[in-house]
Homo-oligomer: A and B are copies of this chain.
Amino acid sequence: MSDTPAPKFLGANTALPASPEEAELDYVPNPRKGQLYMVRFAAPEFTSLCPVTGQPDFAHLVIDYAPGETIVESKSLKLFLGSFRNHCGFHEDVTVGIGQRLFDEMNPQWLRIGGYWYPRGGIPIDVFWQSGAPPEGLWLPDQGVSSYRGRG
């Protein structure tokens, strides 16, 4: 295992960053550089705060991207998402903001994020953002998160 790059957080204990601003994402070299492929993260453990009422919000997030020079190490992604625990933001803002930060910092060939928020007032909001039209030849399955259905 000697020539494996040493990730910053994987295999170590790291405290949760206090805010998204303090969270550091770890980008490691793409082990299959030159190939066009897609990576998907499903993150059902996400919570932030409502900017108007201060009450907790919860979401299931799914992030898809086509790596360029680097890939994002998943433990650093986990810590970044955890750093929203005390962050206030509207659903639309938080979802698109996570996508844009990853896109701007990592510089992948393409990225999208789906945010599937738990219902408020009986009505959930889902937010879908992508960095642009997907690259030709990229294989792009549906995220397939089931629709909210109420009861019965």
A-side residues, CB < 8 A to B, are 1, 4, 6-7, 10-11, 13, 15-16, 30-32, 35-45, 47, 51-56, 58-60, 62, 67, 71, 74-75, 77-78, 82, 85, 88, 90, 92-93, 96-97, 100, 112, 114, 116-130, 132-133, 136-137, 139-152
Contact = CB atoms under 8 A, between A and B. Distances in A.
A74 B7 CA distance: 25
Given A32-B92, A55-B16, A147 B143 contact: yes
Contacts of A30: 92
Given A37-B129, A148-B151, 13 more contacts: A16-B56, A38-B128, A40-B127, A40-B128, A42-B123, A44-B118, A44-B152, A45-B56, A59-B151, A60-B151, A128-B141, A130-B139, A144-B146
7 contacts: A7-B52, A11-B52, A16-B55, A44-B149, A60-B151, A143-B147, A146-B149
